[in-house]
């Protein structure tokens, strides 16, 4: 192709990735539905949300440990379980993996909240489909081709990308750093964000250089192509300006290349402090698909693959928070971790864990509600190979609650974005938006199921605050088997009848959710 023809072709679309000092910066694909949906351009704000994706399916029971159920934990996963005396206590009942001392310190300083057992009904155990569900925010039996963030941004920024950037919106709508581009910012017709594909390309962008190509005719053409693509990236100047305006200050950052998540968050901190008006950043860390050798086959269970990964998460978030504090922008930023699913309760013979359902997530920042939301996983006395951690909180409820409190997104917009309303979960401090939000008791008062075990019928009792209530029974795999109620109930004591008609003998989980309150109970059905 002649250079003139190439220029005419690329000038119209700029579809190739730009290389910033060898670091490709490309438009988002239809990936991470978690990103753009969290922005609300209609509201003037300098607040930032950072999403940390743990790719592969994180073992939540090895990260947030139920100290009050150690005998059952050891019976279920004795070959990988941590020594109880080495778990870092958050409360008397709940602790963290010993590799997460940095997160423990942040929790003690009221900068981390833990949300227990986050998932969705009828979970899917495929990495690809489960990631689609988390990023599009769809139900498990529905496929959406757009990201929930992309849908939201499409409504907030009409006509994008035509006319953008402009004086009012000079910077990227959303930015991801890392090799994995999220699905969430795909709009109905166009990508709504941009990606910095690697940390090395970011620093190349700052110096204006491109990767060296071979000294051949094809190499010269490749160099030319890279230069043209770099020039067509409209947001290059904005990123260079922001990066030049701030420098990282924390001594806690590890040496470059030792912790890829920290390398990504270091860039995010620099851009935020430099004044980039981007509201959503997405970073990621892979390797969490720990089917085998999650811990060493010989040696302490506090070491190994999963311990290394959790240590990187802890180290990166601790350094990030310290840098934000030193840069005086910590009050502007909230972060959240998520993974496409958790792992099974029972370990396997390969010293690992298989694909599971719900898992905890962290919310971090100086504006978080530093609580453990929900209760510890209730482990059955005898665990089968297919038993899962039951859901306590729908992941879409967490998204919606952060949008509501952090970006002041109206309830009607949230319902349209997610296709239905979800209960509010106070993961951010009361009054973080306007001083009117009150934190509800996150547990459902008086919740019990009796008799238990159940043979013919049982009573599901709880204290209702007066509002929309869902009471659902799930099997050990996380599939919904009965929905006892899904409507508004009056305030006061409630007693619902549960009949296990047609259910096989075994363990089930009864889940009650109302507003910000959510609880689950283990139920045993006898033959």
Cβ neighbours of residue 21 closer than 8 Å, sequence gap 6 or more? 200, 201, 202, 203, 204, 205, 206, 207, 208, 209, 210, 211
Give the chain's length.
527
Q: What is the pTM for the complete model shown?
A: 0.81
Work out the mean pLDDT of the chain and round it to a whole number.
83
DSSP letter (8 states) at residue 242: H
Cβ neighbours of residue 406 closer than 8 Å, sequence gap 6 or more? 38, 47, 49, 334, 367, 428, 432, 433
Query: pLDDT, tens digit, for every residue of 198-255?
Result: 777 777 767 766 566 677 766 666 665 555 444 336 688 888 889 989 999 999 999 9
Q: Which residues are paired to 31 by β-bridges?
A: none
- For residue 370, pLDDT over 80 is answered with yes
Q: What does the pLDDT read at residue 191?
A: 63
pLDDT, mean of residues 320-331: 94
> Residue 405 in contact with residue 433, Cβ under 8 Å?
yes
Cβ neighbours of residue 432 closer than 8 Å, sequence gap 6 or more? 367, 405, 406
Measured distance CA(236)–CA(241) in Å, rounded: 9
Q: What does the pLDDT read at residue 478?
A: 77
Measured distance CA(297)–CA(307) in Å, rounded: 14
DSSP letter (8 states) at residue 150: H
Report cis status (omega within 30 of 0) of the bond before 453.
yes
Q: What does the pLDDT read at residue 434?
A: 53
Query: pLDDT, tens digit, for every residue of 244-268?
Result: 899 999 999 999 999 999 999 999 9
Report cis status (omega within 30 of 0) of the bond before 161.
yes
Give me the residue spans of the domains in the chain. Answer: 3-438, 440-527
Lowest-pLDDT range, 166-180, 374-388, 414-428? 166-180
pLDDT, mean of residues 93-102: 97
pLDDT, mean of residues 469-497: 90
Q: Which residues are paired to 18 by β-bridges?
A: 25
> Residue 329 in contact with residue 114, Cβ under 8 Å?
no
- For residue 448, pLDDT over 80 is answered with yes
Locate all alpha helices (DSSP H) within 254-409, ordered by sequence. Answer: 260-273, 305-326, 395-407
For domain 440-527, which CATH number applies: 1.10.3720.10, 2.60.40.1930, 2.60.120.10, 2.40.50.140?
Answer: 2.60.40.1930
Measured distance CA(90)–CA(65) in Å, rounded: 10
Which residue has tokens 């423990």? 104
Query: pLDDT, tens digit, for every residue of 412-422?
Result: 988 988 899 88
């Amino acid at each position: 192709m002649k250079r003139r023809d190439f220029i005419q072709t690329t000038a119209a679309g700029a579809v190739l990735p730009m290389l910033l000092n060898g670091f490709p910066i490309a438009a988002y694909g239809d990936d991470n539905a978690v990103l753009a949906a969290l922005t609300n351009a209609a509201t003037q704000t300098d607040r930032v949300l950072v999403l940390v994706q743990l790719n592969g399916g994180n073992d939540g029971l090895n990260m947030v440990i139920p100290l009050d159920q150690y005998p059952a934990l050891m019976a279920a996963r004795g070959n990988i379980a941590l020594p109880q005396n080495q778990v870092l206590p958050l409360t008397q009942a709940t602790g963290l993996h010993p590799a997460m001392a940095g997160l423990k310190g942040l929790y003690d300083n009221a900068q981390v909240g833990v949300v227990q057992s986050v998932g969705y009904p009828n979970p899917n155990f495929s990495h690809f489909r489960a990631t689609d569900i988390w990023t599009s925010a769809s139900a498990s039996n529905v496929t959406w081709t757009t990201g929930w963030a992309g849908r939201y941004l499409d409504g907030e920024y009409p006509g994008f990308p035509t006319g953008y950037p402009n004086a009012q919106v000079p910077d990227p709508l959303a930015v991801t750093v890392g090799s994995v581009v999220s699905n969430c910012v795909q709009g109905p017709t166009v990508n709504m964000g941009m990606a910095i594909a690697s940390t090395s390309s970011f620093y190349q962008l700052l110096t204006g250089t491109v990767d060296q190509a071979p000294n051949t005719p094809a190499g010269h053409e490749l160099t030319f192509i890279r230069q043209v693509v770099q020039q067509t990236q409209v947001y290059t100047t904005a990123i260079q300006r922001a990066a030049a305006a701030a420098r990282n200050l924390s001594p806690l950052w590890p040496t470059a290349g030792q912790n890829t998540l920290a390398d990504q968050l270091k860039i995010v901190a620099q851009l935020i402090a430099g004044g980039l008006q981007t509201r959503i950043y997405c970073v990621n860390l892979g390797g969490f698909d720990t089917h085998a050798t999650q811990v060493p086959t010989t040696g302490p269970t506090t070491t190994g693959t999963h311990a290394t990964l959790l240590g990187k998460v802890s180290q990166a978030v601790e350094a990030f928070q310290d840098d934000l504090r030193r840069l005086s922008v910590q009050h502007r930023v909230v972060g959240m971790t998520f993974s496409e699913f958790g792992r099974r309760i029972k370990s396997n013979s390969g010293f690992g864990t298989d694909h599971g359902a719900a898992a905890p997530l962290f919310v971090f920042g100086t504006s978080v509600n530093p609580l453990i939301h929900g209760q510890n996983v209730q482990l059955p006395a005898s665990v089968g190979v297919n038993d899962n951690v039951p859901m306590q909180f729908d992941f879409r409820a967490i998204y919606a609650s952060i949008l509501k409190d952090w970006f002041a997104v109206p309830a009607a917009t949230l319902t349209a974005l997610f296709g239905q309303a979800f209960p509010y979960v106070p993961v951010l401090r009361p009054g973080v938006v306007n001083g009117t939000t009150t934190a509800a008791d996150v547990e459902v008062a008086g919740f019990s199921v009796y008799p238990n075990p159940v043979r013919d019928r049982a009573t599901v009792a709880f204290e209702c605050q007066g509002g929309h209530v869902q009471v659902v029974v799930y099997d050990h795999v996380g599939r919904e088997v009965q929905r006892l109620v899904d409507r508004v109930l009056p305030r006061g004591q409630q007693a619902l009848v549960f009949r296990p008609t047609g259910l096989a003998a075994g363990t089930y989980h009864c889940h009650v959710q109302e507003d910000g309150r959510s609880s689950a109970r283990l139920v045993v059905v006898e033959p």
